[in-house]
């Protein structure tokens, strides 16, 4: 694998034996530093399944996942948890913010779980939120934020532990078109500036056109567009 590759999915298949259907069939994909890869396809095509496998949230039936040079095929669940915490950031269609915590606290929590001191965690949370235009929302609770602001907080939280890989599953799907573009532009700028790799599942062809590479999943097979 090239040294600048962040994730390499090698011949990934996922089969549910109750109906013998392959959700994914021999899928291979490599994403490099500062690169955006778009996953396109209708609902049920396997986009979310591929992201869950890439994020070590689900196991493939066959194939290997290599993240930052580490082959995860035979590692323990504890090692997978550690890799997710240190190397992978997740952004979903729904923000999943903790309602009883402020924006600042939501971004600090993953760092505290990783063992970062409270002061350092809060300082980084402030920096991340300020970088996406939320410096006046540090102490706001999710119920006090707009949809776009909530999703920006979710992005900042995903970046809190400085991951090598960002996985986004319809991250702008609940936003109006104008806000979706603004949030996506923030996401693209941060990924490019930090050198992360990103895999983004989306139905939005306009946003996909802005990414470095585009792939279509159809009937469990991945095609480059």
pLDDT(207) > 50: yes
The class of domain 5-224 in CATH terms is: alpha beta
- Asked if residues 145 and 137 have their Cβ atoms less than 8 Å apart, the reply is yes
Per-residue burial over 25-54, b = 16 or more CB atoms within 10 Å of its CB, e = otherwise: bebebbbbbbbbbbbbbeeebbbbbbbbbb
Residue with tokens 């996942």: 65
pLDDT(1) > 60: no
- Asked if residues 95 and 101 have their Cβ atoms less than 8 Å apart, the reply is no
Chain segment 57-94, per-residue pLDDT in tens: 999 999 999 999 899 988 999 999 999 988 999 988 77
Task: Map out the domains of the chain as residue ranges.
Answer: 5-224
Residue with tokens 């396109």: 40
Q: What is the pLDDT of residue 2?
A: 46
Cα 187 from Cα 172, distance rounded (Å) = 10
Chain segment 142-155, per-residue pLDDT in tens: 999 998 899 889 99
Q: Report residue 203's pLDDT band, with 50, 70 and 90 as the boundaries.
A: confident
pLDDT(116) > 70: yes
Closest to 38 measured CA to CA, from 27, 53, 51, 26:
51
């Amino acid at each position: 694998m090239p040294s600048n590759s962040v994730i390499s999915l090698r011949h990934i298949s996922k089969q549910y034996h109750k109906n013998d259907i392959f959700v994914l069939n021999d899928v291979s994909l490599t994403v490099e530093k500062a690169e955006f890869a778009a996953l396109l396809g209708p609902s049920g095509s396997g986009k979310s399944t591929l992201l869950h496998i890439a994020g070590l949230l689900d196991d493939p039936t066959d194939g290997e996942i290599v993240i930052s040079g580490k082959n995860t095929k035979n590692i323990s669940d504890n090692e997978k948890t550690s890799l997710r915490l240190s190397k992978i950031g997740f952004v979903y269609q729904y923000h999943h913010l903790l309602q009883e915590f402020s924006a600042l606290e939501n971004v600090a929590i993953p760092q505290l779980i990783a063992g970062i001191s409270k002061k350092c965690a809060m300082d980084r949370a402030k920096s991340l939120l300020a970088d996406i235009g939320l410096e006046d929302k540090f102490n706001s609770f999710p119920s006090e934020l707009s949809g776009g602001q909530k999703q920006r907080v979710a992005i900042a939280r995903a970046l809190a532990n400085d991951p090598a890989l960002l996985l986004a599953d319809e991250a702008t799907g609940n936003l109006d078109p104008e806000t979706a573009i603004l949030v996506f532009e923030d996401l693209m700028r941060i990924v490019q500036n930090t050198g992360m790799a990103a895999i983004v599942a989306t139905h939005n062809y306009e946003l996909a056109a802005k990414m470095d590479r585009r792939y279509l999943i159809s009937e469990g097979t991945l095609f480059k567009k």
